[in-house]
Chains A and B, each alone.
Chain A
Amino acid sequence: MTPHWTEYLPALMQGAWVTIQLAVFSTLLGAVLAFAAGIGKLSPNAALRALSVTYIEVFRGTSLLVQLFWLYFALPLVGKAIGIDLRLPPVVAGVMALSLNIGAYGAEVVRGAIQAVHTGQHEAARALNFTPRQTLTGVTLPQAIPEMMPSFGNLAVQNLKDTALVSLISLGDLSFRAEQIRNFTQDSTTIYSMLLLMYFGMALVLVAVMRLMEHRVGRWRRVRS
């Protein structure tokens, strides 16, 4: 006899907590990478620009699953060749792959939003004798960040969905737990329906949180008008 669906909940909730942590950490780390590479791509320093462009192209041009498997299966072999232990625990490989991947997509958003800031703003900042750093943090970014938020919202949902892939390197996230229960009970319809609904619920919460943040970073605009 197949168990009642509520009996699956404790294990699934445990997995959901891992998924939430993964999503939060990789999104935050991804945002840091996105700003670093996005600003780096516009840097006057050619080496920094080349580094940023290479990072963005490699991680946007290959599949996330390929990146994840590379970090988990291939990187230890690189380590062995050069004599360093580069065997990553699944959670480190998972967070790294997710944040490197989403960071590359985010970098293009950051670059686009910075370039969309009116050139008059840069000229005015320069006329007021701002240093390049002051211009970036005091003039450009405050105007660019609200423009980035809708795209960041989409990327955050994308990243949440992508966390499901880490179950393939045996990290105990929501999908992994569901797969375990299914192997045990063969109750596919109930488990996968619950799984889909749980991901949907988490995505809805995430969308709401991102809306709030969007509202918050753009609040200075409304004060003026």
Chain B
Amino acid sequence: MLFGFEWDTNTPLDFAISILPILLTGMVVTIQATLLGFAIALVLGLVFAVLKSAPSRFIAWPAKLVTEFIRDTPLLVQLFFLYYVLPEYGIVLPAFMTGALALGIQYSAYTSEVYRAGLEAVPRSQREAARALNLSSARTFSHIVVPQAIPRIVPAMGNYVVSMMKDVPVLSVVTVLEMLNVARIIGDRTFDYLIPLSMVGGLYLIMTLFASGLVRLLDTKLPKQGVPLK
């Protein structure tokens, strides 16, 4: 029994049906971790993107080094670091929060590049035209550059959401009860790993196909010229 659901080991089909609600409970945690982690990655990535494009080398260079370091080290090790080292400095977070934070930090290195590439892809002539029309630099940024960068940034961010979803099982090592961890517990107790693990694979396939479909839809629906911020 797990989360109040009993499993039925009479036939493989009964077993699969009886553990589906348990796995779906785990899937909810997987989705929650993805969403929270991505929210952190969006904010932190923006901070890194701003720092990396800072006019001063003394700010831009360390920011580049930090994002490179985050990008080149494994999520698992970063997660262990946060989980075991933060409490030594008095910061005790629940496992789920630590996991979402690790995901957010790892992906902030990627999202900061998405912001940078999206903003740089707006043709320079657009800024020059805005300047010729006597727009302030704040107005140029918010009304000219950002609206045109959005159609480039959003689909790339979407792909990272899908990729992050596939990294959530790593959180099982710090006891987060996401889908894979739940399947392993079922396997440990029933000695049948085949059905739960295969079902997790199948459910993942459904989730990622659905999410990539959404991203593709978003990509075609967003006007290529830009999204007005009004």
Contacts and interface: CB of A to CB of B under 8 A. Distances in A.
A32 interface: no
A195 interface: yes
Interface string B101-132: 00000000000000000000000000000000
Interface stretch (B47-55, B135-143, B186-194): B186-194
Interface stretch (A6-14, A62-70, A130-138, A141-149): A62-70
Interface residues of A, number: 40
A64 B69 CA distance: 22
A189 B85 contact: yes
A73 B170 contact: no
Interface in B72-87: 72-78, 80-81, 84-85
Contact of A167 (B75, B76, B78, B168): B76
A200 B180 CA distance: 28
B169 A63 contact: yes
Contacts of B170: 65, 165
A97 B71 CA distance: 22
- Name, among A67, A70, A175, A182, the residue most crowded by chain B CB atoms within 10 Å (CB to CB): A70
B64 interface: no
A64 B204 CA distance: 11
Contact of A203 (B72, B75, B81, B88): B72
Contacts of A61: 204-205, 208-209
Contact of B73 (A60, A163, A203): A203
B74 A64 contact: no
Contact of A164 (B77, B88, B165, B200): B77
B198 A63 contact: no
Contacts of B201: 58, 62, 66-67, 70
Q: What class of interface size applies to chain B in its complex with A?
A: 35 or more
Interface string A124-164: 00000000000000000000000000000000010001111
Given A63-B168, A66-B197, A189-B85, A77 B192 contact: yes
Main secondary structure of the interface of B (DSSP, over half): helix
B173 interface: yes
Contacts of B173: 168
A108 B154 CA distance: 21
Overall SS of chain A's interface: helix
B77 A199 contact: yes
Given A62-B166, A65-B169, A66-B197, A199 B74 contact: yes
Given A63-B180, A74-B194, A189 B88 contact: yes
A130 to B, nearest CB: 36
A175 to B, nearest CB: 6
A163 B210 CA distance: 28
Contacts of A182: 84
A188 B85 contact: yes
Contacts of B74: 161-165, 175, 199
B76 A164 contact: yes
A164 to B, nearest CB: 4
Contacts of B208: 60-62
A196 interface: yes
A61 B200 CA distance: 11
Interface string A175-187: 1001100100000
Given A61-B209, A66-B204, A77 B166 contact: no
13 contacts: A57-B205, A61-B204, A63-B204, A64-B166, A65-B169, A70-B197, A77-B193, A182-B84, A192-B77, A195-B80, A196-B81, A200-B69, A203-B73
Interface of B: 69, 71-78, 80-81, 84-85, 88, 165-170, 172-173, 180, 184, 187, 192-194, 197-198, 200-201, 204-205, 208-209
Given A69-B180, A199-B73, 20 more contacts: A61-B209, A63-B180, A63-B204, A64-B166, A66-B201, A69-B184, A70-B201, A73-B193, A74-B194, A157-B71, A165-B76, A167-B76, A175-B76, A182-B84, A192-B80, A192-B85, A195-B80, A195-B81, A196-B77, A196-B78
Closest 9 CB pairs of A and B: A203-B72, A164-B74, A188-B84, A73-B193, A65-B169, A161-B74, A77-B194, A63-B166, A192-B81
